[in-house]
Amino acid sequence: MPERELNGASMNNYTLIVTEKPHSAKRIAEALDSQGKPKQFKENGVPYFVASRDRELVVVPSIGHLYTIVHETGTKSNYPVFNFKWTPRHLAEKDAKRIRYWIETFSKLSYDADTFVSACDYDIEGSLIGYFILKYACGGKETSAKRMKFSTLTKAELEQAYMQPLPSLDFPLIEAGRTRHEVDWLYGINLSRALTLAARRWSGRYYTLSTGRVQGPTLQFLAEREKEIHGFVPTPYWQIKAEAEILNSVVETEYEKKRIDTRAEADAVVEACAGEAGRVITVEVRRVNQKPPFPFDVGTLQREAYSLFGYSPRRTLAIAQRLYLDALISYPRTSSQKLPPLIGYKTILNAFKQKREYAKLAEKLLEKEQLKPREGKKEDSAHPAIYPTGKLPEKPLGPSEKRIWDLVVRRFLTVFGDDALKEILKASLNVNGYSFFLRGRRILKQGWMEYYLPYARSEEVLLPQIEESDLVRLRRVIREEKFTCPPPRYNPSSLLKRMDELGIGTKATRADIIHTLYNRGYVRDERIVVTKLGFDVIDVLDKYAPILTSAQLTRELEDKMEQIRNNKMKRKTVLNEVVEQLKPQLEHFKENEESIGEVLTRAIQRAQAQERIVGKCPNCDTGNLTIVYSRKTGKRFIGCSNYFKGVCSTSFPLPQRGTVKPTGNRCKACGWPQILVRFKGRIPWNLCFNPDCSKSGRRKS
């Protein structure tokens, strides 16, 4: 084979290592180079690295998926479609033209390579990325390639993964990933195209509508919860609130019934007990051991970050991915709650002795005779639970990265902690035949909570000394009228948990599904509200293709994907079953396309009109201020909806460049509604359009 030059470097018979991202390629090259200083080159703007070891290693990054699925034959204006093929993304997507250079670079650099290794992330997506690059760009090298398996980008683990690679690619995992993409494509392309074309053919206008194998069932149970809330009829009930006086201290007491169904009964309790003394009948004191929490899997990390910091699941995953690429934490897309000893507990703890905020905690754990983490039941064959690698940041972390890294570090320390010990006191009090309870709790031993501060949540309620037969006077007794509440709305965190419980989506895709529901306008707000458009879409699917919103069907498909991964089912079998399920649903949909198109178009028009409403008109107070466009000039402005009724002519100018949208917020200075103005390449800013507001912050457009 002739010797060739790679950007001036004469090389022959080298190893080509395929990686998933440029950042990980650099880390892998640095870890594997004998001097830790690989050479960096560029080919048509595509970076790659040459490391010297026992032989030359050419480490080339991808930028995610270079190949995608497309309709093999036919036009985009029809459905159903069941014939597809995998193709380079630049041939299928307008915004992916540079993908061509990445594929060409892999092809060129593979020419003189005699050994091939996939070092993409060890999960379904990473395995699939490496497989298609080796198969198509490198000319069928997927059958002879080896596989590096690692959970962190630390030098030691990367060296071990290179020295002891898997002898072949993980084909069962690849087959499961390929099947998942193809099934999702069959669902997504057909259902989204059916919705979009129905609306377009009825209205003559194009609107982006979508649904899919996971998106549909997720929207379905959100809609069911919303209907429960709308249909809920509150019923009144009463509660007793009381305060007891003990040794010059005032403490809250709890009435024996948490809910009283009639006001008469509540009044009788108040009349009999207000200002009266009662006797302490029993005092129960018990001690409870509280075990440490489990190590983080991706779902619990996302939920904890939402609870503590308000980060969306998608944002948390993105932050965790950046920390992984910086070799600060292990691979985050894991469902495991296990921490195997091979990760090196003591090595990691010793590393944290160098960090002031963790030094004393790490030293305390290292004094233990045995380091044994508390683990959960969930396992992941590819990766352990999320843990800090022990590597300290090479540069200052941003605020969000620092928070998530600190949370992961403290959770890791916590799982090695002792049980916390709590003392719980319950005293029963009899007042004229009615029972009240005094409850106290205090922490006797912090145990693991010491390591999880400031994230550990435990509120103490300290009571004065109290014994049986003591007399206690109820200083204040009142009744409160309340009403039963509907079930709570989901937030992104609780929705993520619900999807996990139902077994729909994967640990890596659930956050993106939630994000898509927001982007499509099907849901809004942090406490998730299903919009009218979301209801109309799910109603259409329920009426004309009900099987496609079934969580049960989605869960069964997830199980089949797992069976493929375990070599218990064939990809072709699953694809054939999906096609047979889709055919009758789509035929029924097409038969009713006109009525479906009308419903969807009306829903979209209502949604678009709602999106233009800025707020109530401050002048007439009955109309809505709306973003409108002049038919004569084409310019946009804010006008009152009562203008067309001849009631109000209020209007305000708007910037004519960039995009504007209502914020739902009000100006702190004058109380008028605000809009968000966004110019390309500039930071968005809030605009108060009240000309008399001193803090309107108007700018020239």
In this structure, of 220-229, 266-275, 503-512, the range with the lowest mean pLDDT score is 503-512
Judged by average pLDDT, the poorest of 69-73, 152-156, 174-178, 314-318 is 69-73
pLDDT category of residue 699 using cuts at 50, 70 and 90: very low
Does the annotation mark 331 as catalytic?
Answer: yes
> Is the predicted pLDDT of residue 9 greater than 70, yes or no?
no
Whether the predicted pLDDT of 494 surpasses 80: yes
pLDDT at 8 over 70: no
Residue 655: what pLDDT?
84
The answer to whether 53 touches 159, Cβ cutoff 8 Å, is no
**Residue for token pair 């989901």:** 490
Q: With bands split at pLDDT 50, 70 and 90, how would you rate the model's confidence at 505?
A: confident
Are β-strands 14-19 and 56-61 bridged in parallel, bridged antiparallel, or unpaired?
parallel
pTM for the model stands at 0.83
Q: Are 32 and 15 in contact (CB under 8 A)?
A: no
Q: Which of 47-51, 75-79, 174-178, 564-568 has the lowest mean pLDDT?
A: 75-79
Q: How far apart are CA 364 and CA 497, in angstroms?
A: 34
Report the pLDDT value the prediction gives residue 509, as an integer from 0 to 100: 85
pLDDT at 60 over 90: yes
The closest alpha carbon to 232, from 490, 489, 530, 486, belongs to 486
Q: Which residue has the higher pLDDT, 12 or 416?
A: 416
Cα–Cα dist 407/396, whole Å: 16
Confidence at 5, pLDDT banded by 50, 70, 90: low
**Residue 650: half-sphere exposure toward Cβ, Cα within 13 Å:** 21
What is the rounded (10 degree) CA torsion for 113, 119, 120, 121? 170
> Per-residue pLDDT averaged across 520-539, rounded?
90
Bond prior to 486 in cis (omega within 30° of 0): no
State how far the Cα of 391 lies from the Cα of 51, in Å rounded to an integer.
22
Name the DSSP letter for residue 107. Answer: H
CB 196 within 8 A of CB 208: yes
Structure tokens given for 694: 């001193």
Q: What is residue 11's predicted lDDT score, i.e. its pLDDT? A: 57
All domains of the chain in start order, with CATH: 4-169 (3.40.50.140), 178-230+489-604 (1.10.460.10), 236-292+420-483 (2.70.20.10), 298-414 (1.10.290.10), 613-688 (no CATH)
Long-range contacts of residues 664-671, Cβ cutoff 8 Å, at least 24 apart: 666/615, 667/693, 667/695, 667/696, 668/695, 669/693, 669/694, 669/695, 669/696, 670/695, 670/696
For Cα atoms 547, 553, 559, give the angle at the middle one, nearest 5 degrees. Answer: 165
- Only one residue has tokens 């402005």, namely 637
Q: How far apart are CA 249 and CA 280, in angstroms?
A: 16
C-alpha–C-alpha distance, residues 42 and 508, integer Å: 31
What confidence tens digit (pLDDT) does each residue in 115-149 have? 999 999 998 899 999 999 999 999 999 999 999 99
Residue 145 burial (CB count, 10 A): 24
Catalytic residue (choose from 14, 162, 324, 331): 331
pLDDT tens for 605-658 read 888 777 788 888 878 878 888 888 887 888 888 888 888 777 888 888 888 888
